[in-house]
């Protein structure tokens, strides 16, 4: 398969020079809050109230700002702090190695703050007082407050409407500190994300549950269309309403959520179960979802495509949007422009606008080279492109995105050798989030190079000049279309945010969540622990060192993916709550509840699990754990279709192996792409999973884990001991 030259939204699918400034668009008034957020995330571990190296508390400006300090207001050249953070010398720069340095964008924000006078940091929002009446929540900061606020809100909603409420929270930020400006950014990020994930005609503004604090929000699923179930019930191929599964679109979010906690024996949690959880029919008993996780994860594959129920091929998308792009070209309904330099692509780019029922539908065409038939000037009508990106207006005025290769097949990310995402630490361009972060004003501006070039040529010099000029319209005409599309988008965003959008909110929230290293203080806050002092010693214990958390034991940092993989085990071992592990999530290929899980092996007969079409594959599952296991195997195709490979849940004795197939081998078919085999195993027998299949969504394999018993206040069918391992099979 040829990779396309994709110019994703973030990298400016229709790039203008101003796109590169999206991360630096804080006004002078916003700079102190932005710098405080950077210092809190990157510096407070060594320069805080607990550990005050060089006698600096980085959040207390009086300890380092002024003539004798390391920050001289208005003078970057005289500010030693700037020299430290901007240095390339690992022996000199701050943060000290092995902690990662500040990004170029963060350094630039600090520079601008100093140059503007190093203004005072805004105060943090005070942690709201908690009732303190629930003994089961005494050791967890924020949990009782959030649960109580949700409970009080639900009790004031008519019973028939309660089942459709879904809650989001950023309250965990208060434990490590957050300003009102930072909380507002999270609020705006949530508003932008949910409206970019809905086909409903009206903009939805999340309702604040805790006005005055601003950390808990609620939406009605029906307003976003997320109450609908895209899945067919187990074992029923019928499409009749009676055969539909109760798993709705938002349940797909809950299945991926790694931070779910159930506070057993909590009185307020039990009350919430009575009035809300038991009526909402949630696939998992999770009362709220964190805003930072949601806006960073639901905007990427697989949730992004599944929440919008997008197809796998371009022609299916155009059918869905009722756009006949070929007819529009033949009748000159479509409008084109071509750029020699776009700011991102190494080669030519052509963009094409079509009218659609909700506004506009844009296509970009990108090229592997600028030579021969891929030189857009050779034939601006019938050029040979490699792939591209589609942007269209959703009914509410926001935008959706779709990336394809040269064959029109959907891609979720592009290789960094062709295009990069400057807002992502790993530089990988991913559909959805990357586009949203860049397109802060809708479709990007551009200047056409095709029409001016052909206008200057005599008519006899070029065949089809008249057709080219009809399709590649005058700049002023294209600008009018761009103006119209921009107004539509900004109007929608103004309604979603409740005010003018002064800066793009997803960038700081998603970058902090996805890319910023996690400090011990932040980890404590996410666990609901106010004091991280003793936590460092806890992470030195063998059971935590085995999880790869050695960075915390030395006062260092760890990465988000490591934290998420083991969050449930950490919460369980610390006795904070009963975690709801995302064992049925598509984004969680493995779940290892203890070190013994590594003794269950899933292998194939080829090193690296790489096969050529026509080769035979044998899969072997071996149990070298200390006891018998119950297991089931599931296969997943390159397009997310699942099939159960075992006849229900089977027993595998200690020291035994299971071969699939029992004799012979599976012949690899000539279809390129990655496929997967997943094993679910446990020393305790469990009910077999169910495949859920639907239109426009990837299959889910669902188990009946984590049922909340409102009478006992406890979870039943806890998956805490379940092993999940996934084998990636590559066909080349």
pLDDT value, residue 37 = 85
Whether residue 106 is found in the same domain as residue 32 = yes
413 inside domain? yes
Same domain? For 477 and 338 the reply is yes
Question: Which residues span the domain enclosing 294?
Answer: 135-298
Residue 33 carries which DSSP code? Answer: H
Both 322 and 437 in one domain: the answer is yes
DSSP 498-557: TS---S-SHHHHHHHHHTSPEEHHHHHHHHT-S--TTHHHHTTSHHHHTTT-HHHHTT-E
Q: Would you say residue 5 has pLDDT above 80?
A: no
In three-state secondary structure terms, 166 is strand
Query: Which long-range CB contacts under 8 A does 525-528 form with residues at least 24 apart?
Result: 525/141, 525/172, 525/173, 525/175, 525/176, 526/172, 526/259, 526/563, 526/567, 527/140, 527/570, 527/571, 527/574, 527/576, 528/139, 528/140, 528/141, 528/142, 528/143, 528/172, 528/175, 528/576
Torsion, CA 326, CA 672, CA 431, CA 727, rounded to 10: 160
Q: Which residues contact 597 (CB under 8 A, 6 or more apart)?
A: 625, 723, 725
Contact 248, 228 (CB under 8 A): yes
pTM higher than the cut 0.85: yes
Shared domain for 442 and 399, answered yes or no, is: yes
Q: Which of 256, 273, 298 is the last residue of a domain?
A: 298
138: β partners:
none
**Are residues 292 and 315 located together in one domain of the fold?**
no
Note the pLDDT tens digit of each residue in 322-354.
999 999 999 999 999 999 876 556 678 899 999
Mean local confidence (pLDDT), 285-304: 97
Tokens of 428: 């990988």
pLDDT at 314: 96
In a domain, 183, yes or no: yes
Same domain for 146 and 283? yes
What is the model's pLDDT at position 452? 94
Show which of 251, 278, 298 is a domain's final residue.
298
* Other Cβ atoms closer than 10 A to 378: 13
Tell me whether residue 521 is in a domain: yes
Residues 165 and 291 in one domain: yes
> Rounded to the nearest 5°, which phi and psi values hold at 528?
85, 20
Judged by phi (left if over 0) then psi (alpha if -120 to 50, else beta), residue 117 lies in left
Average pLDDT (209-217) is: 95
Residue 303 inside a domain? The answer is no
Task: Kindly tell me if the per-residue pLDDT of 6 is higher than 60.
Answer: no
Is there a domain that residue 126 lies in?
no
Q: Alpha carbon of 545 to those of 13, 516, 536, 539, 668: distances in Å?
A: 44, 22, 11, 6, 40
Q: Which residues pair with 600 in a beta bridge?
A: 623
Residue 314 sits in the same domain as residue 452? yes
Q: Does one domain contain both 140 and 227? A: yes
Cβ contacts of residue 157 below 8 Å, gap of 6+? 165
Residue with tokens 């404590």: 524
361 and 470 housed in the same domain: yes
One domain, residues 174 and 62: no
In a domain, 502, yes or no: no
Query: Residue 532 pLDDT more than 80?
Result: no
pLDDT at 658 over 90: yes
Task: Determine contact, residues 444/16, Cβ cutoff 8 Å.
Answer: yes
Residue 24 has pLDDT above 50, yes or no: no
Is residue 422 domain-shared with residue 547, that is, in the same domain? no
Report the domain count for the chain.
Answer: 5
Residue 427 has pLDDT above 70, yes or no: no
């Amino acid at each position: 398969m040829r990779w396309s030259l994709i110019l994703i939204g973030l990298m400016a699918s229709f790039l203008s020079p101003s796109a590169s400034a999206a991360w630096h668009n804080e006004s002078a008034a916003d700079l102190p809050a932005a710098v405080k957020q950077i210092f809190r995330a990157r510096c407070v571990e060594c320069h805080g109230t607990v550990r005050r190296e060089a006698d600096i508390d980085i959040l207390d400006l009086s300890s380092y700002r002024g003539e004798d300090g390391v920050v001289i207001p208005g003078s970057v050249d005289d500010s030693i702090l700037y020299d430290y953070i901007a240095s390339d010398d690992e022996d000199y720069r701050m943060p000290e190695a092995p902690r990662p340095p500040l990004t170029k964008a963060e350094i630039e924000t600090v520079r601008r703050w100093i140059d503007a006078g190093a203004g005072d940091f805004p105060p943090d929002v005070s942690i709201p007082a908690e009732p303190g009446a629930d003994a089961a929540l005494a050791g967890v900061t924020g949990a009782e407050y959030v649960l109580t606020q949700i409970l009080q809100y639900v009790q004031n909603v008519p019973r028939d409407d309660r089942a459709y409420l879904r809650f989001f929270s950023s309250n965990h930020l208060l434990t490590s500190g957050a300003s009102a400006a930072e909380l507002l950014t999270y609020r705006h990020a949530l508003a932008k994300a949910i409206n970019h994930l809905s086909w409903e005609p009206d903009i939805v503004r999340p309702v604040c549950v805790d006005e005055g604090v601003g950390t808990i929000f609620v939406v009605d699923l029906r307003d976003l269309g997320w109450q609908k179930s895209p899945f067919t019930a187990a074992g029923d191929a019928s499409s009749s309403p009676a055969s539909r599964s109760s798993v709705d679109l938002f349940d797909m979010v809950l299945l991926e959520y790694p931070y779910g906690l159930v506070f057993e024996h909590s009185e307020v949690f039990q009350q919430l179960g009575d009035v809300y959880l038991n009526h909402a029919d949630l696939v998992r008993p999770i009362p709220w979802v964190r805003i930072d996780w949601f806006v960073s994860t639901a905007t990427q594959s697989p949730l992004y495509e599944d929440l919008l129920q997008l197809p796998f091929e371009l022609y299916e998308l155009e059918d869905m949007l009722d756009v006949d792009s070929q007819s529009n070209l033949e009748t000159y309904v479509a409008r084109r422009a071509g750029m020699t330099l776009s700011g991102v692509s190494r080669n030519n780019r052509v963009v094409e606008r079509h009218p659609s029922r909700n506004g506009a539908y844009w296509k970009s065409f990108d090229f592997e080279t600028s030579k021969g038939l891929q030189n857009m000037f050779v034939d601006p009508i019938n050029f040979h492109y490699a792939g591209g990106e589609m942007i269209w207006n959703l009914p509410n005025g926001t935008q959706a995105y779709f990336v394809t290769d040269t064959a029109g097949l959907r891609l979720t990310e592009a290789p960094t050798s062709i295009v990069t995402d400057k807002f992502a630490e790993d530089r990988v361009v991913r559909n959805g989030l990357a586009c949203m972060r860049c397109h802060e004003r809708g479709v990007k501006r551009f200047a056409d190079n095709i029409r001016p070039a052909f206008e200057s040529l005599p008519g006899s010099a070029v065949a089809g000049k008249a057709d080219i000029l009809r399709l590649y319209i005058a700049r002023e005409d294209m600008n009018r279309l761009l103006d119209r599309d921009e107004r539509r988008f900004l109007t929608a965003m103004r309604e979603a945010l409740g005010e003018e959008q002064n800066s793009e909110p997803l960038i700081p929230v998603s970058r902090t969540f996805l890319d910023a290293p996690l400090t011990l203080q932040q980890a404590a806050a996410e666990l609901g622990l106010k004091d991280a002092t003793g936590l460092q010693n806890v992470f030195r214990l063998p059971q935590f060192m085995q999880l790869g958390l050695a960075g915390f034991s030395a006062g260092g940092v760890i990465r988000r993916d490591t934290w998420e993989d083991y969050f449930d085990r950490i919460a369980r071992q610390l006795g904070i709550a009963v975690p709801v592990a995302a064992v049925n999530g598509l984004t969680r290929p493995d779940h290892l509840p203890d070190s013994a899980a590594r003794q269950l092996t899933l292998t194939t007969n080829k090193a690296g699990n790489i096969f050529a079409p026509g080769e035979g594959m044998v899969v072997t599952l071996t149990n070298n754990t200390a006891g018998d296991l119950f297991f089931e195997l599931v296969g997943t195709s390159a397009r997310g279709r699942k099939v159960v490979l075992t006849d229900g849940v089977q027993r595998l004795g200690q020291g035994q192996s299971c071969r699939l197939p029992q004799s012979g081998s599976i012949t690899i078919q000539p279809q390129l792409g990655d496929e997967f085999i997943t094993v679910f195993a446990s020393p305790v027998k469990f009910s077999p999973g169910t495949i859920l299949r639907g239109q426009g969504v990837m299959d889910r394999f669902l188990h009946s884990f984590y049922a909340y018993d409102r009478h006992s206040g406890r979870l039943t069918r806890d998956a805490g001991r379940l092993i999940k391992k996934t084998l990636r099979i590559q066909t080349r």
